[in-house]
Amino acid sequence: MNILVCDDNENAVNTITTMLQTRCQEKCISAKLYSYTQPECVNVLEIIDIAFLDIDMPGMNGITLAKNLRLVQPRAVIIFVTNFIQYAPEGYEVKAFRYLLKSDISIRLVEFFDLAVQEMLKCRKVVTIKINAESIDIPIHDILYLESEGRIIVMHLVHNGHATYRFYESMTSMEKRMEMLGFLRIQKSYLVNMEYIEIFQHNRIQLAGGIVLTPSEKNRAELKKKYLLWRGENKWSIC
């Protein structure tokens, strides 16, 4: 994997890089580290799997660098490492995975790195579907939600203008395959990727792109409980 470390403080860069190198050796992870003290020098087109970014840097700050990185690498796992907690809300805009205070680097960096590796591997998972006897691998991260139309499943994708795939399969079978990957069956006809839930209200669920679906009236409380549990385990937080 490729790991980016960017901080205008050279000592911070060296500390983080050394700790990551040690952890990679302990876990037998093959990794290439890119270390920078000037965010303007970072090539965002270089494939990056995990990025550790300071926020308060002269010139281009970490938020801007993260936005530039996210534009071309939507699956990069971004962790902000900084002294300034007031910037935390801006991390939500770039889908930051975690927010780590520099004072906690020695005790929490390794933990956050391990979690970031798990997140990266999850983003690389695919589900295989068959269309006209041809097997097609679809990255889990690219699926917005699945819709049942009789015996046909319509898979709605996040990218490519919300493109769709149509194939024969039962929704019950798809639910069993994808429940452990962060999908929630909100009613008989819909199986949604919880990563893209923006609003979960009593009688409506809004997904990325403004798509609104109606959850099961009978199971609303249980659905909300499952979503909040997943969100607590997966959404980024200030630590």
pLDDT in tens, 32-52: 999 999 999 999 888 899 999
DSSP 8-state secondary structure symbol assigned to residue 238? B
End-to-end CA distance of the chain: 25
CA quadruple 92, 46, 81, 63: dihedral positive or negative?
Answer: negative
pLDDT band at 196 (very low <50, low <70, confident <90, very high): very high
137 burial class (0-12, 13-18, 19+ CB within 10 angstroms)? exposed
CA proximity to 57, closest of 74, 86, 81, 92:
81
What distances in angstroms separate CA 147 from CA 154, 163, 203, one per listed residue? Answer: 5, 13, 18
Q: Is the pLDDT of residue 236 over 60?
A: no
Report helix, strand or coil for 159.
coil
Render pLDDT for 159-182 as a digit per residue (tens, 0 to 9): 755 689 999 999 999 998 888 888
Query: What pLDDT shows up at residue 29?
Result: 87
Rounded CA-CA distance 204/213 in Å is 6
SS3 category, 166: strand
Q: Give the residue, 141 or 204, on which the prediction is more confident.
A: 204
Give pLDDT tens digits for 129-162.
Answer: 888 888 888 888 889 999 999 889 999 998 755 6
Per-residue tokens: 23: 């952890």
**pTM, to two decimals:** 0.62
- What secondary structure letter does DSSP report for 215? P
pLDDT at res. 238 = 39
